[in-house]
Amino acid sequence: MSVYPEERELSDLGSSKNGQGPASSASQRDRVDNEQLARLGKRSVLKRNFGFMTILGFSCAVLVTWEGTLMSFSPGLTNGGPAGLVYGFILVWIGNLSVFSTLCELVSMAPTSGGQYHWVAMLAPRWCSKFLSYITGWWTLAGWQGTSVSAAYLTGTMAQGLVTFLMPEYEAQRYQGTLLLWLCVLVAVLVNTVVSSVLPKIEGMILVCHILGFFAILITLVTFGAHEVPASAVFNQWLNDGGWPTQGLSFFVGLLGFVFAFAGVDCSFHMCEETKNPSVAVPRSIMFSILFNGVLGLAMVIAMLFVTRDFGAASNSATGYPYIEIFYQATNSRGGTAVMAGLIIFMTLSAIVGVMAATSRMFWAFARDRGLPFWKTLSKVATEADRVQTQVDDRTSVPVYAVATTSVISCLLGVSNIGSVVVYQALVSLSICGLYSSYLMAAGLLLYRRCGKGFKMPDPSVMPALANTEGGGDVTLAWGPWHIAGIPGIINNTFACTFMLMIWVFSFWPNTVNPTPDKMNFAPLMTGLMTIFSIIYYLVWAKREYRGPIVEV
C-alpha cells in the first residue's frame, strides 16, 4: 500500500520544488510530468495510461451530451417547450464553454486529481483557505457521487422503460429499477478494477460508438420521420406547463435538464495524475469535447423536435422517457425503436464506468489530504505486491478502496428509489448544486486574484509552479500553457461566474408552481444536510486533521 513520506502544509510548498524523480525506467515524458506534480507537493503513484486521444475519449464518454439531451427532454418540454429546448441548449452550451475555459486555466496551472478543492486552497486568502478548500472538496465529492448514482438510476429505469414499450402488460416495479441500478454499478466496478489497465482503450472504443451512434440515430430520424412540423413550431413555440408567472421564468427553470446533460465535464480534472502532459492534454480534451458534443447535441435536439408529431404523448409516455415515444413516432417501428433506445442505454452504461473512475479518484485525492473519515484506508492504492494477491493487472495502480466506497454509496442511495419517485430529481439537482458550487468557488477566487487583489500571477518560463512569497504567506501563481490573458480573460471569468450563479439558484427550484410532495425538489434539503454535516465534521474532528493539500515530497 502507498506510504506517504514527510508531510507538510501547502504554505510550505515554496521550499519543496525538488521532489524525487521517478524510476530510471520511466520515460522522459513521465519524468517531466512527475516533476511537475512534485512542484505541487504530490508524489506520483498512479500509472499515466491516458494520452490526448484517450483522455478525449474519456471526456466524451462521460459527457454523452447528445444522449443526455434525449434523456433530459422532459423538463425542457414542460418549461420552455420546443423553442425553450433549442435556445436553452445554446445558452447552456455557451455557458459551459465559458465556465470550463476558465477552469482549464486552473488545471493547466495545477493538474492534480484533487481539482477544485486544491485550486481553492491555492487561491483563497491564507486565513480562510483551509476551510474553503475543505467545503469545496465536499461539494465536489457530493456532486460526483450524485452523478454516479443518478447515471446508474437513469440506465436502470431506461431499461425498464424499454421493456414497458415492448411489453405494455409489464408493470415496472421500483425495486426492479434498484436491482438494475446495482447491476450497472457492478459492471462499472469490474471495469475500474479487474480490467482497469485497458480503461483508456475501452474509452477510445466508446468514443467511436458515441460518434457512429449519433449518425445512425440522426440519419434514421431524418429519413423516416414525418416532415410535417413547420419551423415556426420548433423555433417559436413556447410552453409554460409548470404554471410559472412568466414565460421567461419557466424557461430558466427548464434549463436544468440540459445542464445535467453537460454534467461531468470536469471528469478529466480528476484523472490528471493518470494523463501524460496533463497541463496541455486535459484542457484541450475538455474544450474539444464541449465543442464537439455541443454540435452533436444541438443537431439532435433540432432533429427530435422536427420529427415529433405529438408532444403530449411524448411527455406522458408510459416508458417515463419521451425520447422513446418520439423514436416510435418517427420510425413507426417497435423493433427499430428498441434498437435505437438500446444504443442510448448502452452509452449511458458506458458513461457510468467513467463517472465511477472520476468519483473514485476524487475520493482518493481528498482522502490523501485527510479530508474524509477513514482517510488512511481510502487513500491507499494497490501496489505491486497487492496486485499479485488480488490478480489486478500489474500495469496500473488502482485506488481500490475508493472505488469500493463510491460503489457502496451508490447502491445505498439507489435503495431510496423504492420509497419515492422524486429520488432521481433530487439526485440530479444534488449533482448540479454540488458541482456548480465547487466550480463557482474556484472560478470566483480566480477572478478575485486576477483582478489584482494583492496577488501576482506571472507568466512562467517553465512548467507551472507554485511558490510561497516571502513574508506574508500569500501565494504567487504561475500561469500554465492554457491561459486567456488580460481583459478578455477577466470578461470570460466574470461571465462564467454569472452563469454558474444563475444555474446554482435555479437548481433548487421545482418543475411546477405549488408542487405536491411527489414533485418537490429536495435538493435544498440534501445539499444543506451535506454542507451542515461537513461543517460539523470539520469543527469537531477534521480541523485537526485537514490542513489543506498536504505536501508529500
pLDDT tens readout for residues 413-466 = 888 777 666 666 666 677 888 899 999 999 999 998 888 754 554 443 333 444
Q: What is the pLDDT of residue 160?
A: 92
26 located within any domain = no
Domain coverage including residue 331? 50-383+401-453+492-545
Indicate the pTM of the whole model: 0.86
Q: 486, 482, 501, 488: which is closest to 443 by C-alpha? A: 501
Distance, CA of 208 to CA of 61 (rounded, Å)? 10
In tens, the pLDDT along 139-178 reads 999 999 988 888 898 899 899 999 999 998 888 888 888 8
11 located within any domain = no
461 located within any domain = no
Q: What is the pLDDT of residue 346?
A: 92
Question: CATH code at 175?
Answer: 1.20.1740.10
Distance, CA of 55 to CA of 53 (rounded, Å)? 6
Q: How far is CA 150 from CA 164, 180, 236, in A?
A: 20, 12, 32
Count of domains for the chain: 1
33 located within any domain = no
| pLDDT by 10-residue block (mean), the chain, 553 residues | 36 38 54 81 82 86 85 81 92 95 92 91 88 93 89 90 91 87 93 80 84 92 81 88 89 87 85 89 93 93 88 82 90 92 92 90 90 85 50 58 92 79 67 89 92 53 37 59 88 95 88 78 80 88 84 73
Q: What is the pLDDT of residue 537?
A: 87
Residue 168: which residues within 8 A CB-CB, separation 6 or more? 318
Q: 100, 148, 96, 103: which is closest to 123 by C-alpha? A: 103
Distance, CA of 333 to CA of 543 (rounded, Å)? 60
Q: How far is CA 172 from CA 40, 169, 176, 335, in A?
A: 51, 10, 7, 20
40 located within any domain = no
96 located within any domain = yes
Neighbours of 51 (CB within 10 A): 17
335 located within any domain = yes
Distance, CA of 86 to CA of 98 (rounded, Å)? 19
Q: What is the pLDDT of residue 32?
A: 79
Q: What is the pLDDT of residue 2?
A: 36
In tens, the pLDDT along 73-113 reads 778 888 888 899 999 999 999 999 999 999 999 999 889 98
136 located within any domain = yes
Q: What is the pLDDT of residue 534?
A: 87
Q: What is the pLDDT of residue 97?
A: 95
Q: What is the pLDDT of residue 23?
A: 42
Q: What is the pLDDT of residue 173?
A: 86
